[in-house]
Amino acid sequence: ISQVYKKALENKKIVFTTSEPIMINEGPFSFEIRHAPSLANKPLFTPPKKNAPPFDPFSPPEKDLIVEELHDYYVLLNKFPLVPEHALLVTKQFVSQNTPLIEPDLGNAMSVLKSLNSSTERWFCFYNCGANSGASQPHKHMQFLPIPDDFQTYFDHICHAYKTDSDGTWDHTRKPLSHPEIPYAHFLVPLSGTEDESELAMKFSQLLARVLTILRRAEAPISFNFAMTTEWMAMVPRTQEVYSDGDVSMSINTTGFMGFLLARTQQEVDYIKAVGPLSILKALAPAKVDEKEGEYDY
């Protein structure tokens, strides 16, 4: 990925947006605000041109952005990254972004993750599914970004606490885990790192069952944010894509729920600091439920 990225950047096939990372804390949790003032005049949504066929940047992908072909997928570089080497795993044939991940999606995503983690960096995979998830393209694509050094997400807190308090194995009869100090619905299943694609799909289905139950209760369409490292996978149900308050309007996808928030203006930076990231995220997801309830899951 590094070699293809460097060459594409030199040949101006990638449009890199400079940004400033700003670290803040809320309670025991770390968050990174990425301030990108050059995006201030870019609209959150670009309406399609009248009578124009829908544009699919992945069919076919730009040759200069292709890292490799992986079975029925391309590994690509993001053409407009905020973070260097932002990568994608894209289906070769069109598949809707509104569909859940299946065995080959998860197996190939984990292969890419393990390859990326062989460097000195730790990476995560994420997937935005559904109208309220913050997805930018209708063609199915998973994404990969590095996690900053020494950065611990609240999902890491959940996983580490579980592995400290147990032998590290996961019983499929257990309900997914949540953090008591996070105010919105979120679910995590630990990974051993040795799962095959069918085992990954089984754990994904555990998360999806909880999310579908929560969304059914909220009478909301199916939308969720999914994130995965080699240690865990997690999912957050979504009921709203855009956070709005007066002049502040932010479209948030999985990266926001991982603790990485994009601010296009200094006003947005100041707002996030003043209000707190958790209050913003809480407005975009259903409220946490009592896990003691014996409610049927899908």
Q: What is the DSSP string of 39-84?
A: GTTS-S--PPPTTPPPP-TTSSPPGGGEEEEETTEEEEE-SS-SST
Contacts with 139 (C-beta within 8 Å, 6 or more apart), sequence order: 56, 57, 58, 59, 90, 91, 94, 95, 97
Mean pLDDT of the region 67-84? 96
Coil, helix or strand for 105? Answer: helix
Segments forming the whole domain that contains residue 163: 2-16+63-151+159-242
Q: How far is CA 96 from the centre of its chain?
A: 17
CA torsion through residues 158, 163, 168, 169, sign? negative
- Tokens, residue 295: 């409610």
Mean pLDDT of the region 128-141? 96
In a domain, 173, yes or no: yes
Please list the active-site residues: 141
In a domain, 186, yes or no: yes
Start-to-end CA distance of the chain, whole Å, equals 39
Percent of the chain with pLDDT over 90: 82
In a domain, 273, yes or no: no
In a domain, 266, yes or no: no
pLDDT tens digit string along 215-270?
A: 999 999 999 999 999 999 999 999 999 999 988 999 999 999 999 999 999 999 99
Q: Write down the mean pLDDT value for the chain.
A: 92
In a domain, 270, yes or no: no
Contacts with 235 (C-beta within 8 Å, 6 or more apart), sequence order: 176, 186, 187, 207, 208, 210, 211, 224, 225, 226, 227
- Number of domains into which the chain is organized: 1
Which domain CATH number covers 168? 3.30.428.70
Lowest mean pLDDT among 160-169, 173-182, 202-211: 160-169
In a domain, 176, yes or no: yes
- Compute the distance between CA of residue 289 and CA of residue 11 in angstroms, rounded to an integer: 51
- Compute the distance between CA of residue 257 and CA of residue 223 in angstroms, rounded to an integer: 14
- Compute the distance between CA of residue 27 and CA of residue 182 in angstroms, rounded to an integer: 10
**Is 8 within 8 Å of 62 (Cβ atoms)?**
no
In a domain, 204, yes or no: yes
pLDDT tens digit string along 10-54?
A: 999 999 999 999 999 999 999 999 999 999 876 655 555 555 567
C-alpha pair distances (Å), 207 with each of 97, 203, 225, 257, 292: 18, 7, 11, 16, 17
**Is 33 within 8 Å of 272 (Cβ atoms)?**
yes
C-alpha pair distances (Å), 172 with each of 3, 186, 215: 41, 18, 22
Mean pLDDT of the region 139-155? 96
Q: Where are the alpha helices (DSSP H) in 77-153?
A: 103-117
In a domain, 32, yes or no: no
- Compute the distance between CA of residue 87 and CA of residue 67 in angstroms, rounded to an integer: 9
